[in-house]
Structure 1
């Protein structure tokens, strides 16, 4: 089994389209104003957004995108007007992360974990 797609809610797909294209995702299905789908720049995963009348309550959605050149990616995004909660920080769980929010308040974590993403030192059953 392979994760194919994640779908998130949005109040305004047009703002979301602009934002996620700036992040580097490629628009492949445009059924705005109700639905859009993007292809991630690496691999075959897709990311979609559907129009809602009201966003879910609580902490909302957390979306992680990995980039091997995190610091450069953050600088590039800042140069096109993307604002970050914080720039790249080395975390205790061995990932380097930068955080920002999309136009609907969903938390985006751009990170680089390398081998530690799947094989952290505390992995359960590391031989699997």
Structure 2
């Protein structure tokens, strides 16, 4: 069986310059700049032994309307409130600890794409209700 790996997500950008600044404020690293048509970022932290995930932006018409709830893109961070403060971002609703043990806050990028910042710690892969037969590595 061939392995499957996450590569990237491409989001719409109505205002490429504003979108580039937004994602740079979150700490992403611009690696391809074909603005205003297309840009690609790399996430700053490498997964153990792997390649970094990327996020791309593709220009859309300024009249385009993003769906209100989808896509929902998750960005894992160490400390949600600290990142919000450091990046000077205001979430849609207050940061909240969820019943599944993740701290979450949703923000919108300049094009209306919904980004969920979350900190899960060990609960991301090893929640108390983890299936016992699942690999523990």
In the alignment, the residues of structure 1 paired with residue 58 and residue 129 of structure 2 have an alpha-carbon distance, to the nearest angstrom, of 37
- Tell me how large the CA RMSD over aligned residues is: 1.8
Aligned residue runs from structure 1 range 34-73, under 5 A = 34-43=37-46, 44-53=52-61, 54-57=64-67, 59-73=69-83
Richer in strand (by share): 1
Structure 2, unmatched stretches of 5+, are 47-51
> Which structure is larger by alpha-carbon Rg, 1 or 2?
2
1:10 equivalent in structure 2: 13
Residues 63-83 of structure 1 show CA distances to partners (whole Å, capped at 9, x for unaligned) of 1111112232122122xxx22
Report the count of equivalent residues: 125
Residues 62-111 of structure 1 show CA distances to partners (whole Å, capped at 9, x for unaligned) of 11111112232122122xxx222134211112100122111111111111
Residue among 105, 114, 117 paired with 2:112: 105
TM-score of the superposed pair, with normalisation by structure 1? 0.86
Aligned residue runs from structure 1 range 17-32, under 5 A = 17-32=20-35
Richer in helix (by share): 1
